[in-house]
Structure 1
Amino acid sequence: MERSWIGVLTVMLLFAVVFQKGSCVPVQAKESWGYVDVRDGAHMFWWLYYANSSSASYEELPLVMWLQGGPGGSSCGFGNFEEIGPLDRDLKPRETSWVHASSVLFVDNPVGTGYSYTDSEGALTKDVAMVASDMMVLLKYFFSLKTEFQSIPFYIFSESYGGKMAAAISLELTKAIQAGSIKCNFAGVALGDSWISPIDSVMTWGPYLYSTSFLDDNGLAEVNKAAKGVQQALEQGQYQKATEMWSITENVVEQNTNGVNFYNILTQDPDEMVKTSLVQSSEGLLSSLKRRHIRPLHRQSLSELMNGPIRKKLGVIPKNVTWGGQSGAVFVSMAGDFMKPVVNIVDELLAAGVNVTVYNGQLDLIVDTVGQELWVKRLKWDGLQYFNQMKWTALEDPQTENQTGAFYKTYKNFAFYWILKAGHMIPSDQGPMALRMLKMVTQQE
């Protein structure tokens, strides 16, 4: 079950070479990659970049695992080339790459995402418990293979649904370390714009959009009514129905806001608006959700990159596997898990002494900051009362002198970062601020 196909199979640590218009462009970052069979018929792909810093060796810097959302979004694709990897989508060096401050492990998770694949749809994951179980197999293999990372502080950073999965994975990892089945120095988890309590997000969409002038009184009433339908289904334990009602609520939001971007309310994709108006009346509810939340992670230019030069560079992707080819199936397979909260898991992590960070973008709608604050205020964590009484601290924008880029509060093993001028994909919108936050969370500042 833990057989792995590694990079060029000899597990060589090599200087990366990517192919751009027929030429080779060297990237000064050691890399390694491969597959792990996490279950029969379930194959998970990982890609490691060793830290590339002019001031410290990788042994002196933390290891960060990045988990994308969706579910069905590719860490090795979107997270890597659109957000925090050493190269951007045009294969040009990224100044704000997290590889400058840490080694970064991208994992295409759950199986079926990105380059990860299953032999049949029956092997796809159904919920976060299954996702976490698969990840334990991968991490056990990884730290057994890369023994040099066993003592290096290991952090899990995440985005969107990746945060929901990260919470469950972190709890299982804590248990595995205590049981001695995985040897690593787990230092904390960071939940970025994370789908921890879906209903708190949905129920605050209306008020948030109203306060930012995207809804009038009539629109607010319509959105709130649709959101109430999601809440009622959830209270009745009808999780699949709650997911469908969530899709309906998103349609109501789009109709009343002229197609507001769920990932950044201040940006709008004209092509996407046209598509929305054409397909909204005819597509199914899950198809509507896939259109909004999976397709943006698989833009044609990124798909061409991943299925072309990057696939050639890696050299281990099976011929029958297309990057992102099973992403829609992953999304549908997890549909019954969408609206289930994992706030209790965050409470368990805090009680176990795990360092937990929440960070959120000011301009995000799908997981708005107001909703995040609601579930945080319901935590049973014994430090919550003091945390709530604290005043936040302003952080200067690294790009603009004398401009506030974020606020943060931290107490004991919990921290919250409010990132200004950023939407759902914080490293894409505010790369310098995201990099500074990384350094603070990993105790480099």
Structure 2
Amino acid sequence: MFLFLPQGVVLRQSQEPKEVWGYVQVRSKAHMFWWLYYANHPTKDFTELPLILWLQGGPGASGCGFGNFEEIGPLDKEMKPRNTTWLQAASILFVDNPVGTGFSYVDDCSLFAKNLTTVVSDMMVFLGEFFRCRTEFQTVPFYIFSESYGGKMAAGIALELHEAVQKGTIKCNFMGTALGDSWISPLDSVLSWGPYLYSTSLLDDNGLAEVTAVAKEIMDAINKNQYGLATELWGKAEGVIEENTDNVNFYNIMTKEVPEMKSNEQENLHLIGLYQRHVKNMHKDSLNELMNGPIRKKLKIIPDCVKWGGQSRDVFENMAEDFMKPVIYIVDQLLAANVNVTVYNGQLDLIVDTMGQEAWIRKLKWPNLDQFSQQRWKALYVSPESTETAAFHKAYENFAFFWILKAGHMVNNILLGVPSDQGEMALKMVRMVTQQQH
């Protein structure tokens, strides 16, 4: 079932983007919500600009909510225009996935995705329906951009989509994927936490020893394929880091986390802590009120029984066994298939720090890795007039890396009021990745 309603089309003024939204039933009793904004360029039609699918992390964080109103959509959560919206460079398709995220929902609790395979197959159903119904986008260059756990999903979706396009089962002009602060190799991230925090004076020798010890526990669990245990130990490791750093913020080391009250529930406390830190954090009161209030009224199609974010914890917990599994091999397959792959990372991110990203990249079996590594990176500036280095960039054939300076986990977002927003640099990167700018 594909749902397009007349009230889903909004075109108020020429300056404001046209938008449509709806649901796709990706499996029986599993409903995926999407929200599309057409590009908003002063001189170009949307058909002259690419289409970007945005995938949020978590798993369980909402692209239609957080990605849209906190990061790259046309309006912020105060409903004010965003100067650095990506709509200046592309049309944006937000999708609440996996099912149960945001306004997406399942009618039966057994239907939550438990692994990447299900996440990918659901998205293939969605994309097949989307491009079948929105034929105007079939020839537009299509890119998948992602953040955090969304990057792991993006890698799997990109490979499956590439194969579907080759077979002719989905008609679209797929051009590549961009993995932002992405959870591609959880172990490489975990092993780099201690050295990164130590090098930035956020751990002393004793703290480094404690973080290193719990990282080794995680490594042992992963080496024994005990992925559920590894996820629990990951929660323990974050607790050790918080104790030793006075609650450093995992999304931006320049600030600190305000500790949550401890849960009284007799459940896995580490898993609850992980959910609160990495998913519930993206359902703050102001955004929650916006999505379940004015936005819900505007959309008009959200079922009465569905609350935005109401099933997000279920989404996160059902994916716990899959969470720590690496997908470096999928990136290798993408590169071998000649799919364009971009990695971008914020300098101040801890949860997926740049050291960890570089570590898994060194493990790629891609034949051109040596040539990529030998390239000298180039400094990037937000404008010709700027003298401040905003990022570094390196590329070889179909692989590229952006080191975004003064940015945290959300490259396009001011996190907790810290003035590290690199929205202009993020927009420049989008134009470079989509071949609108060199």
d(CA) in 2 for partners of 1:370, 1:321: 40
**What's the counterpart of residue 200 of structure 1?**
188
- Alpha-carbon deviations, 1:72-98, whole Å to 9, x = none? 000000000000000001000001000
* Contiguous gaps of at least 5 residues in structure 2: 414-420
d(CA) in 2 for partners of 1:420, 1:146: 37
**What's the counterpart of residue 435 of structure 2?**
443
Q: Is the 8 A contact 1:70 1:162 kept in 2?
A: yes
Is the alpha carbon distance of 1:281 and 1:303 closer, same or farther for their aligned partners in structure 2, counting shifts above 3 Å?
closer
**What's the counterpart of residue 21 of structure 1?**
none
d(CA) in 2 for partners of 1:426, 1:110: 22
d(CA) in 2 for partners of 1:404, 1:280: 47
Q: Does 1:333 align with 2:318?
A: yes
**What's the counterpart of residue 342 of structure 1?**
327
**What's the counterpart of residue 4 of structure 2?**
6
Is the alpha carbon distance of 1:334 and 1:27 closer, same or farther for their aligned partners in structure 2, counting shifts above 3 Å?
farther
1:6 deviation in Å?
Answer: 2.0
Q: Is the 8 A contact 1:204 1:370 kept in 2?
A: yes
Q: Is the 8 A contact 1:398 1:433 kept in 2?
A: no
- Equivalent of residue 90 in structure 2, options 102, 110, 117: 102
1:340 deviation in Å?
Answer: 0.2
**What's the counterpart of residue 142 of structure 2?**
154
AA in 1 matched with 2:184 = I
d(CA) in 1 for partners of 2:277, 2:79: 26
d(CA) in 1 for partners of 2:86, 2:423: 9
**What's the counterpart of residue 357 of structure 2?**
372
- Secondary structure of the 2:400 match is strand
AA in 2 matched with 1:411 = Y
- Equivalent of residue 389 in structure 2, options 394, 397, 404: 404
Q: Is the 8 A contact 2:246 2:256 kept in 1?
A: no
- Equivalent of residue 68 in structure 1, options 18, 32, 56: 56
TM-score by length of 2: 0.95
- Secondary structure of the 2:126 match is helix
Matches within 5 A, 1:291-302: 291-302=276-287
**What's the counterpart of residue 53 of structure 1?**
41
What's the Cα RMSD here? 1.6
- Equivalent of residue 424 in structure 1, options 403, 409, 412: 409
AA in 1 matched with 2:283 = H
d(CA) in 2 for partners of 1:263, 1:61: 31
d(CA) in 1 for partners of 2:14, 2:371: 50
Is the alpha carbon distance of 1:26 and 1:256 closer, same or farther for their aligned partners in structure 2, counting shifts above 3 Å?
farther
Q: Is the 8 A contact 2:263 2:269 kept in 1?
A: no
d(CA) in 2 for partners of 1:108, 1:131: 11
- Secondary structure of the 1:83 match is helix
- Equivalent of residue 233 in structure 1, options 218, 221, 230: 221
**What's the counterpart of residue 132 of structure 2?**
144
Is the alpha carbon distance of 1:399 and 1:375 closer, same or farther for their aligned partners in structure 2, counting shifts above 3 Å?
same
**What's the counterpart of residue 20 of structure 1?**
none
Q: Is the 8 A contact 1:65 1:104 kept in 2?
A: yes
- Secondary structure of the 1:265 match is strand
Percent of paired sites with the same residue = 60
Is the alpha carbon distance of 1:399 and 1:245 closer, same or farther for their aligned partners in structure 2, counting shifts above 3 Å?
farther
Q: Is the 8 A contact 1:115 1:322 kept in 2?
A: yes
AA in 2 matched with 1:436 = K
1:281 deviation in Å?
Answer: 11
1:400 deviation in Å?
Answer: 7.9
TM-score by length of 1: 0.94
Q: Does 1:312 align with 2:304?
A: no
Is the alpha carbon distance of 1:318 and 1:402 closer, same or farther for their aligned partners in structure 2, counting shifts above 3 Å?
same
1:8 deviation in Å?
Answer: 3.4
**What's the counterpart of residue 417 of structure 2?**
none
Is the alpha carbon distance of 1:443 and 1:288 closer, same or farther for their aligned partners in structure 2, counting shifts above 3 Å?
same
Matches within 5 A, 1:180-195: 180-195=168-183
Q: Is the 8 A contact 1:7 1:315 kept in 2?
A: no
Q: Is the 8 A contact 1:204 1:368 kept in 2?
A: yes
